[in-house]
């Protein structure tokens, strides 16, 4: 329970705790329990605790209530005796040193002799606080370039008293400030921009980058430079500097989103307020600051606010995280210079007829709203870069959408009908979840004009041969295509035939539907046609050893998911692939999933798959009775996780037990002890 949580949350918690503590649990769970253990994490305010504690009975023998806080006065308010307060100890010198050295030097004992003393002094000032250690270490490890001894001592002298005596929030902020001031000029506004999002909010990478671009925070004078890729490098740099916490790391190592540590969020909110970068209205700040300063960017995180619209004529960005505000408190049509309008998740929003008048708009986010129609005037938004309509109730996009010649990112749902002449959107880089189930031949041919596309996701249900051929030709023209996802619900995939030539830059290729498949592996899936392919998800009617052998030669393949449709769906006999040991197979693969395929670890020859961490395969239990059958996996040095589907068809109970025991023994015999 942080200080930014409002009375509504407190009262809901109050009622919930009364249920748990004043009634017997048997009424709720049909169990005869009358004791409880409840942990309330991160309380910032004594007044909040006064409300919460009213929910607890003073006569609950054997029950325990644990609270955590960063503030001593709050901990004293929560406990009847100081003896009940447990003060977390800072990290020991050894652990602090290990954490620091690993971040700065990428190894525990890599500190040069000349930096031993200064690093010891820096750690002393960090006081064993992990966040302080990581922040300072990330600053020193910036871009993996060693700072000079003089720079280390300059940093040491700048830290001041540190946290050794008084571990207060102000001192922590002071330490974090050094990391902020060390940021290059282009990263400072990108970090401050994160103050728009509420505490603990999951900020998705793509949403953030497209907003940065729309705000002009990502800019390049070189026309050939992709603004998205540049923004992605900014995002990764903030992650590497430990200024933001990564979440959702995919199999290729890409970070899908981030959170902001509450201490860092406090810091950037304070800086944003001082510089009039962002105005935040939340549980603690419900009114505009008492100042004549014009509002530039507004983040509304509470529906009970008092908004003064007289200072909003210069507002460039509006983000709303709560319902019952748009149309009732705010008159968005009056914000004539608005660049970013993000209403994601506002379920009370159903009418956006005014957006056609926001001529400077660059980002329009209507995800998970109840908007049913876009106005025809949307074609007037000549500067619009991102249009996100996922999860809205829009069925048909107006014909004027094709006038958005600068549009770079278009997110739709597969059941939304797009207008003809989509080929006019020549600036598009992302076209996500386009439905092609009810389009004509001309529409499919128009896709070939979108030559700047990097990401294309299609739903091709109900395709005939002529549409499939037209789609092949269109995608072949998109030479910058990086990611292609094609969804077909059922049956044989009749597009992208044997003679198709894929875009040479293709890195990600997926056919995710469980009910569709290729008859054989397309001949264009080979190392010469797809030298950069790192992600492949595919289903074949039958998977033979030579198919896996060929896929193992793809030089950049990191993730492979392949399914034998005949085995997985029809119950055919599982086969054990045999791979030759002549070539170095799967050199970059970290995760391989073989569904309906007996790809046991011994299938991989010595030296193959040196980076493989996660292996998934099917194992018929009756194989355990085969003479000299080998389950050894020690030759896969990076293995961390093994998932096995043990099939029992044709096997005795004893063979099933022996098969499982043999798998466990093989995992335990591996030096890494991979999770099975």
Cα distances (angstroms) measured from residue 284 to each of 2, 10, 71, 287, 657: 11, 14, 18, 9, 60
- Contact 280/302 with Cβ under 8 angstroms? no
Q: What is the pLDDT of residue 289?
A: 65
The structure tokens listed for 397 are 């996009």
What is the mean predicted confidence (pLDDT) over 379-407? Answer: 96
Q: Does residue 602 sit in the same domain as residue 650? A: yes
Helix (H) or strand (E) holding 559: strand 559-564
Q: Does residue 581 sit in the same domain as residue 672? A: yes
Q: What is the pLDDT of residue 170?
A: 65
**Does residue 278 belong to any structural domain of this protein?**
no
**Does residue 388 belong to any structural domain of this protein?**
no
CA dist., res. 193 & res. 217, Å (int): 9
pLDDT, tens digit, 9 for 90 and up, residues 246-255: 999 888 888 9
Q: Does residue 647 sit in the same domain as residue 531? A: yes
Classify the C-alpha dihedral 187-274-386-402 as positive or negative.
negative
pLDDT, tens digit, 9 for 90 and up, residues 195-219: 999 988 999 999 999 999 999 999 8
Confidence grade of residue 49 (pLDDT, cut at 50, 70, 90) = confident
Where helices occur in 182-226 by DSSP H, the ranges are 188-192, 205-215
* 627 or 153, which is more confident: 153
**Does residue 670 belong to any structural domain of this protein?**
yes
Q: Does residue 401 carry a pLDDT above 80? A: yes
Cα distances (angstroms) measured from residue 157 to each of 118, 151, 161, 176: 10, 10, 9, 15
Cα distances (angstroms) measured from residue 510 to each of 117, 428, 505, 529, 619: 53, 21, 15, 16, 25
Q: Does residue 234 sit in the same domain as residue 194? A: yes
User: For the purposes of burial, counting CB atoms within 10 Å of the CB of 64, is it exposed (0-12), middle (13-18) or buried (19 or more)?
Assistant: exposed
Q: Does residue 261 carry a pLDDT above 90? A: no
Q: Does residue 523 sit in the same domain as residue 661? A: yes
Full residue range of the structural domain in which residue 70 is found: 7-83
**Does residue 433 belong to any structural domain of this protein?**
no
Q: Does residue 105 sit in the same domain as residue 136? A: yes
**Does residue 144 belong to any structural domain of this protein?**
yes
Q: Does residue 164 carry a pLDDT above 70? A: no
CA dist., res. 511 & res. 487, Å (int): 6
What CA dihedral angle connects 515, 248, 208 and 295, to 10 degrees?
Answer: 130
Q: Does residue 154 sit in the same domain as residue 120? A: yes
CA dist., res. 518 & res. 501, Å (int): 16
Q: In terms of DSSP bridges, do strands 245-249 and 614-620 run parallel, antiparallel, or are they unpaired?
A: unpaired
Q: Does residue 176 carry a pLDDT above 50? A: yes
Final residue before a domain boundary, out of 244, 266, 288: 266
Q: Does residue 132 sit in the same domain as residue 55? A: no
Q: Does residue 317 carry a pLDDT above 90? A: yes
Final residue before a domain boundary, out of 83, 104, 129: 83
Q: Does residue 553 carry a pLDDT above 70? A: yes
Domains of the chain: total: 4
pLDDT, tens digit, 9 for 90 and up, residues 578-613: 888 766 899 999 999 999 999 999 999 989 999 999
Final residue before a domain boundary, out of 266, 293, 321: 266
pTM: 0.82
Q: Does residue 28 carry a pLDDT above 60? A: no
CB neighbour list of residue 184: distance below 8 Å, 6 or more residues apart:
none
What is the mean predicted confidence (pLDDT) over 116-142? Answer: 83
pLDDT, tens digit, 9 for 90 and up, residues 468-501: 889 999 999 999 999 999 998 778 887 888 888 9
* 375 or 314, which is more confident: 375
Q: Does residue 527 sit in the same domain as residue 627? A: yes
Q: Does residue 545 sit in the same domain as residue 650? A: yes
The structure tokens listed for 50 are 């006064």
Where helices occur in 262-382 by DSSP H, the ranges are 262-274
CA dist., res. 5 & res. 282, Å (int): 9
DSSP per-residue string spanning 627-675 = TT-----TT-TT--EEEEEEE-TT--HHHHHHHHHHHHHHHHHSTT--B
**Does residue 33 belong to any structural domain of this protein?**
yes
Q: Does residue 104 carry a pLDDT above 90? A: no
**Does residue 150 belong to any structural domain of this protein?**
yes
Q: Does residue 21 sit in the same domain as residue 126? A: no
Q: What is the pLDDT of residue 13?
A: 56
- Contact 369/391 with Cβ under 8 angstroms? yes
Q: Does residue 65 sit in the same domain as residue 212? A: no
What is the mean predicted confidence (pLDDT) over 223-228? Answer: 83
Confidence grade of residue 26 (pLDDT, cut at 50, 70, 90) = very low
**Does residue 443 belong to any structural domain of this protein?**
no
């Amino acid at each position: 329970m942080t200080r930014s949580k409002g009375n509504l949350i407190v009262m809901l918690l109050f009622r919930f705790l009364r249920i748990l503590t004043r009634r017997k649990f048997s009424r709720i769970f049909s169990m005869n329990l009358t004791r409880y253990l409840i942990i309330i994490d991160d309380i910032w305010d004594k007044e909040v605790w006064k409300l919460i504690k009213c929910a607890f009975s003073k006569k609950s023998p054997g029950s325990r209530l644990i609270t955590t806080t960063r503030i001593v006065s709050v901990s004293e308010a929560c406990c009847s005796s100081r003896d009940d307060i447990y003060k977390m100890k800072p990290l020991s010198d050894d652990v602090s040193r290990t954490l620091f050295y690993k971040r700065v030097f990428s190894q525990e004992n890599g500190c040069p002799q000349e930096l031993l003393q200064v690093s010891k002094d820096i750690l002393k000032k960090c006081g064993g606080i992990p966040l302080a250690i990581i922040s300072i270490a990330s600053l020193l490890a910036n871009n993996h370039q060693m700072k000079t001894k003089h720079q280390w001592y300059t940093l040491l002298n700048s830290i001041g008293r540190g946290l050794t005596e008084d571990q207060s929030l102000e001192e922590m902020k002071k330490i974090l400030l050094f990391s902020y001031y060390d940021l290059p000029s282009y990263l400072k506004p990108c970090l401050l921009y994160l103050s728009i999002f509420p505490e603990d909010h999951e900020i998705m990478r793509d949403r953030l980058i497209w907003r940065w671009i729309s705000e002009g925070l990502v800019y390049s004078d070189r026309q050939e430079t992709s603004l998205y890729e540049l923004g992605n490098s900014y995002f990764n740099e903030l992650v590497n500097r430990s200024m933001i916490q990564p979440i959702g790391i995919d199999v290729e190592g890409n970070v899908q989103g981030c959170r902001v540590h509450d201490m860092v969020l406090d810091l950037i909110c304070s800086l944003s307020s001082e510089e009039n970068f962002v105005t935040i209205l939340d549980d603690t700040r419900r009114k505009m600051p008492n100042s004549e300063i014009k509002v530039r960017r507004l983040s509304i995180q509470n529906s009970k606010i008092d908004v003064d619209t007289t200072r909003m004529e210069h507002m460039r960005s509006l983000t709303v995280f709560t319902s019952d505000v748009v149309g009732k408190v705010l008159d968005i049509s009056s914000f004539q210079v608005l660049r970013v309008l993000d209403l994601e998740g506002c379920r009370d929003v159903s009418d956006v007829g005014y957006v056609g008048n926001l001529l400077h708009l660059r980002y329009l986010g209507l995800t998970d709203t109840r908007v049913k129609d876009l106005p025809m005037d949307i074609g007037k938004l000549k500067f619009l870069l991102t249009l996100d309509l996922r999860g809205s109730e829009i069925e048909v996009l107006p014909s004027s959408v094709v006038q958005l010649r600068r549009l770079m990112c278009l997110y739709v749902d597969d059941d939304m009908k797009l207008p003809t002449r989509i080929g006019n959107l020549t600036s598009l880089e992302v076209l996500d979840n386009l439905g092609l189930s009810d389009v004509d031949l001309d529409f499919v041919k128009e896709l070939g004009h979108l030559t700047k596309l990097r990401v294309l996701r299609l739903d091709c249900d109900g395709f005939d041969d002529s549409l499939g051929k037209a789609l092949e030709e269109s995608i072949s023209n998109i030479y910058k295509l990086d990611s292609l996802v094609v969804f077909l619900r059922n049956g044989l995939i009749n597009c992208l035939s044997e003679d198709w030539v894929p875009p040479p830059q293709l890195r990600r290729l997926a056919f995710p539907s469980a009910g569709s498949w290729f008859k054989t592996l397309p001949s264009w899936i080979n190392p010469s046609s797809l030298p950069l392919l790192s992600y492949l998800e595919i289903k074949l009617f039958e998977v033979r050893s030579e198919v896996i052998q060929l896929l193992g030669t793809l030089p950049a393949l990191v993730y492979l998911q392949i399914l034998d449709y005949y085995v997985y769906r029809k119950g055919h006999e599982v086969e054990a692939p045999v791979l030759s040991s002549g070539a170095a197979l799967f050199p970059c693969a970290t995760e391989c999933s073989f569904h309906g395929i007996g790809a046991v670890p011994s299938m991989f020859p010595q030296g193959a798959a040196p980076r493989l961490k996660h292996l998934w395969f099917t194992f018929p239990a009756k194989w355990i009775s085969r003479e000299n059958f080998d389950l050894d996996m020690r030759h896969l040095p990076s293995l961390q996780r093994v998932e096995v589907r043990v099939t029992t068809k044709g096997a005795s109970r004893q063979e099933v037990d022996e098969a499982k025991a043999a798998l466990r023994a093989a995992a335990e015999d591996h030096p890494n002890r991979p999770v099975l």
